[in-house]
A and B are shown apart, each in its own frame.
Chain A
Amino acid sequence: MKILIVEDEYILAESITSYLRMNGYLCETANNYKSAEDRVVCSEYDCILVDIGLPDGNGLELIKKLKEIGSSAGILILTAKNSLEDKITGLELGADDYITKPFHLSELNARIKSILRRRNFSGNTKIQFNEITIDPNEQSVNINNQPVTLTRKEYDMLLFLIANKDRIVSKESLIEHLWDSEVVFSDSHEFIYTHIKNLRNKFYEKNCRDYIKTIYGIGYKFSDH
């Protein structure tokens, strides 16, 4: 999977690259509109992350360009502007999703996964992790071909953890992922803990291995080793 990161802030582009590389993506970066345009014309990408405010142009223009040349790449807009108008314009131009700075890298990764999955019309859209099978279209989870009933939040949490498998997911990023609203409560941590416990119990009942590892002081990691 090849990803182009169009972001004028070098360090941010660099950290996104490091994180995505850990997740097995090939990453290229462009720090301005011109070089981004050159890159998208020359090669194919599976997903392109576009920062709207570029020093020499607007990211929205790049999205127009991509549609002009008939690119099939998924497009995720990164922006510091949390404005509804930009969001609507971006999505109307054909972007797949929108993420507002400052974001968690794990959140970014989950969004990219979801875009790539939706783009992959022909292939299998189901997510498989050993004995766990998730069907995002039906929002159903099977373990050893037996259905498991999860609450909405438990399902979202599982999907988020699997999207960031083998990576440490911080509690903060989980909280922000689970609640759209800007509200963070002191007991949200306790709440995450309860959900993780419930998820573990439900998996345990279906004789599923415990893949959720608690990382002391930081968060959780979904891993089979």
Chain B
Amino acid sequence: MKLLSKSILYFFPISIAVFIAGGVIYYHKTRSMIYHQVDSSLISEKDIIQEQIEKIQDIPDFYAVPGQEINVRLLSEETRPFQNFSDTIIKNPDTGEETAYRMLDYRNALKKAGGYQINIMETFDEKRELLQYLTVSLFISLLSLLVLSLIIYYIISRRIWHPFYDTLAQVNLFDINSNKPLKLEEPNIHEFRQLNKVLTGMAQKVQNDYKSLREYNENASHEMQTPLSVIRSQLELMQQMENLSAGQIRIINVINGSVQRLSKLNQGLLLISKIENQQFNITEEVNLNMIVDKIYSEFEELINLRKITVEKYYQDGIILKMNPVLAEIMISNLLSNAVRYNVSDGFIRIKTVKDTLSIVNSGTRLKADPKELFERFRKAHQNGEGTGLGLYIVRKICDNYGFMANYMYKDSVHELQISFNQPYMHPYGIH
């Protein structure tokens, strides 16, 4: 839930509750004030008439003010003082119009015998209408106040949180791999300025640490090359020696094999750190189909030796803007996997359709999870041949250019697809 919705969600019911409570109190206060006013006017009228009755001990002459109706009558029975207000509705027999009245019923004893009763009624309609009118206008103004405050709140929130969303967008775009520092604005809100300062500092530190880590990887790989060269050259000199025994030759070969493996591994790691350090910055238009053909010709004899059938199906020509060396490494790793993990009399199908290259090959049963094959040192085959870096390197190259690599496996048929997403294509044959 968005911050804005969340705070409105709190704000709205509370305001409604306050407004309703306020409205109810206001209504009752106004109503009782109106009653009080009407009742006191009825009482003062009664007092005048009562004074007359007390004086003359009979029904006096009186005038009713407009809107009032007065009835006075003498009562024969014993009467005690009594006063009661009531609301009543009287229907005009001519017009059928109903009118609300406030009525005072007053009774008291006369000095001689018996008592008297004063009934005063005052129309109440206008006052009631006023009450209704006041209530409705109060409701409307409260409602508009509520809507207005929501709108103002929304606008203010957006303005206040604007720097926050800016920061969020920038942080989202931040790439630990790139050398571009995280650039954030300096908002005039203290808290956000503080947040931006902390984030910028943190990003800078993370970037520096990551950079030095990559440099360390690269340096370590470099430094290993020289001792490896020394071991290898010494072994080669040893191989030149006369009269080596079979046992000695075996030992030399074992060492040689391990040095070879170590050296391949090292080259792979060096390549990865170079890709990560964006050191392949030369970008050219690369014709993918031509690269596939070139790499294929390198493997051709090996493919023939294993009696693997190769079908090439170039529906579309794929022209990519990328480093040519990386393009060759990518294709070479893919094809060598397709050859290496193939079976005798197997097949390889190379397809380029739209912006996707797919390499399908027969092979043995895949034991690992296809998704994990793009991880480093994740080998599906434990025959000790590969470095376990081949597909990881492919993934790194793909990441570098925003390509999508996918591995699919079904019934001993392996398929590796690379979607180049934003390629630069024309139909095959037009170069």
Contact = CB atoms under 8 A, between A and B. Distances in A.
Interface of A: 9, 11-12, 15-16, 18-19, 22, 80-85, 100-106, 151, 153, 167-168, 170, 172-173, 179-188, 190-191, 194, 216-219
Contacts of A187: 302, 305-306
Contacts of A167: 240
Interface string B214-254: 00000000110110111111101101100010100110110
Nearest to B281: A85
Contacts of A80: 222-223, 225-226, 229
14 contacts: A11-B230, A12-B226, A15-B236, A15-B237, A82-B270, A101-B228, A102-B259, A105-B236, A170-B236, A181-B336, A183-B336, A187-B306, A218-B239, A218-B252
Contacts of B271: 82
Contacts of A179: 298
A15 B239 CA distance: 12
A190 B228 CA distance: 26
Interface in B324-353: 325, 332-333, 336, 339-340
B293 to A, nearest CB: 14
B291 to A, nearest CB: 12
B236 A12 contact: no
Given A81-B222, A181-B336, A186-B385, 16 more contacts: A9-B230, A16-B233, A18-B237, A19-B240, A80-B222, A82-B270, A82-B271, A102-B225, A170-B239, A172-B260, A181-B295, A182-B268, A185-B336, A187-B302, A191-B302, A217-B250
Given A170-B256, A184-B260, A102 B280 contact: no
Contacts, number: 113
A217 B236 contact: no
B302 A185 contact: yes
Interface residues of B, number: 48
Contacts of A84: 280, 282, 325
A191 B300 CA distance: 12
Nearest to B279: A83
A15 B234 contact: yes
A149 B7 CA distance: 85
Contacts of B306: 187
B119 interface: no
Nearest to A105: B236
Contacts of B383: 186
Contacts of B267: 82, 182
B274 interface: yes
List 4 A-B pairs, minimum CB-CB distance, nearest first: A80-B225, A15-B233, A102-B229, A217-B249
Given A170-B239, A191-B301, A12 B264 contact: no
A187 B385 CA distance: 10
B385 A218 contact: no
B425 to A, nearest CB: 26
A89 B96 CA distance: 112
A111 to B, nearest CB: 14
Nearest to B324: A84
B57 interface: no
A101 B229 contact: yes
Nearest to B263: A102
Nearest to A219: B239
